[in-house]
Structures are given as C-alpha cells and as structure tokens.
Structure 1
C-alpha cells in the first residue's frame, strides 16, 4: 500500500483510539480530579475541578466532531499533510492520555495535551474547510 493511501486508515484509527480514550476518561475522571486536590479538600473544590475536567473533555469532543466532519466530507481525507499532522497529534494524544489515566495526572495537564493534540489538528481542519467551502477551492 503506498504511503498516501495508507495514511487514510491510519488517521481514522488514531482518531478513533483518541476518541475511545477520551470517553474512558469521562468514566474514570474521579482519580484525576482527586489527584488535583489537596488531601483535605472541600466538596466545592472537588466540584470545581470535576467541572473543569468535564469542560475540557467536552471541548475535545467538539474538536473530534470538527475533524470527523472534515474527514468524512472529503475536505482533508486525501490531504497528506493534514493526515500526517493528524496521525502524529492523535497518536501522541493516545500515549499522553494513557499516562494521564494510569499515572493519575492532575487536571491542568489535560489542557496541554488538548492544545497540542486536539486543538491543533482541528484548527488546521477548520482552515481547510474554510478554504474549500468558503473560498470554493479544490481540496489538495
């Protein structure tokens, strides 16, 4: 299988793996929330950290929606550059989020993972979608 055509399934699989890990973090977020709090914490502090993590995970799901719309509409499916960026970002996210879950990292570290591994490819996807749908240019 040539390299450009092998990027399509790789991109889809890494995107889905990242999505599965994010959904898993929704289910097991209590450990990460507790890791972000001091040993003696109030229920308000717990609620605030839990809400922060829920918001971060929800925004990540929105970024997935943007990327999947661009991918399935064909805007970036055959764009090798976007595919490489997406595969690298989502593969990195899978590794980092696995550590996030197993090592019980604090909630604020999720924002760094989000910005480099979810927001970056989604922003590039938005730029490509604006170029194709807004400016009526052919996808590369």
Structure 2
C-alpha cells in the first residue's frame, strides 16, 4: 500500500524567493539606500546637489519686478525732457547759428531741431506700444537695453537744457539712444504679432 501513497511536495521556502535588486528598472522597487533607481543607480532628482547645479545654469539676470518700473521711468523721463525741449527751441537754435544770422537761417535751424525731436518722439511711441502691449515688458534683454539707452538719452537732454547745446547734438542723441532700442522693439513686434509667437 505504501507504493500507492501520494507524494506531497513541500511548499517553497520564502528564503528562496528572489529579492528585488536596487538595479531594477524605474518604478519597480527602491534601491538599498531608499532612492529610486535610475540609469546610474539613483534618480537624478535624488542625488545631492542636483537641484543646486540646475539653478546655477545660465547667466544671472536682474529680477523682472525691478526692470519693468525702471524702464517705465526711463521712458517717461525721456518723454518729459523731449516735451520740455520742444516747448522752448530758441536756445539750441541760437547755439547752432552764427552771431549774425538771418530769419531764413533761423527757420532752417529750427526745422532741423524739430526733425530730431519729432523723430525721437515717434520712436519713443513705438517703444511705448511694445511696452504696454506686453511684447517686451517681460523680456530682460530688451528691457536692459532700452533702460540703458533711455537713461543715457535723459542725461544728455538734461545737459542740453542746462548748457544750451546746438541742434547737431540732438541728432547725435537721436541716433545713439533712440534708434537702436526702437529698431529692436519693432523687430520684437513683428516677430510676436506677425508670426503669432508668445510675448514671454
């Protein structure tokens, strides 16, 4: 009768079961040190100093909260000084003329000065449109460039009011401080509005 007795197989031992390894694929089991495995044995986010190194990438820029009001103040100061100079053009016109000038020469010099002031006002309007529409308000590069140019223009116009510069100096300020930021602003307007890209 013993030869017909069924043979019972012993249950598998828990010790013989395979334990999860720390080199398993992502999402299976955590590694031996408690970090989820990755391509190098640990998740990149879990490695010490990973976030610190990520924050150091790129050049440091001033905070946007300071650039926006500073640029607005520079644009406004430039606008106010242009209006003040436009209200009294006699000192710069006389400074650019010889002592014995005629009425025709005075009118020509005044038109020459009005051309510089009117061009600066027009380009300043382009920048105000780009600024208030949000196209360049939150672009640090354009804001820094415009801020520096208009601060220099405001300082130059203030010196022109105090020292009675001639009309040629206003054309120099127009070419150096009004044209370059207005050109970059116009290119931003075309790229954002024409190509329908995001402003920031």
TM-score (norm 2): 0.68
2:66 is the counterpart of 1:6: yes
Q: Aligned with 2:136: secondary structure?
A: coil
TM-score (norm 1): 0.96
Displacement of 1:103 after TM fit?
0.8
Match of 1:22 among 58, 82, 86: 82
Displacement of 1:28 after TM fit?
1.8
Rounded to whole Å, the distance in 2 between the matches of 1:28 and 1:99 is 15
Unaligned runs of 5+ in 2: 1-61
Q: 4+ runs of 1 displaced by more than 2 Å?
A: none
Task: Give the match for residue 57 of structure 1.
Answer: 117
Unaligned runs of 5+ in 1: none
2:141 is the counterpart of 1:76: no
Rounded to whole Å, the distance in 2 between the matches of 1:102 and 1:38 is 20
Match of 2:92 among 19, 32, 39: 32
Rounded to whole Å, the distance in 2 between the matches of 1:120 and 1:97 is 17
Displacement of 1:139 after TM fit?
2.2
Task: Give the match for residue 4 of structure 2.
Answer: none
Aligned length: 139
Question: What does 1:53-132 align with in structure 2 at a 5 Å threshold?
Answer: 53-132=113-192
Greater helix fraction, Structure 1 or Structure 2: 1
Pairwise CA RMSD of aligned residues?
A: 1.0
Displacement of 1:4 after TM fit?
1.8
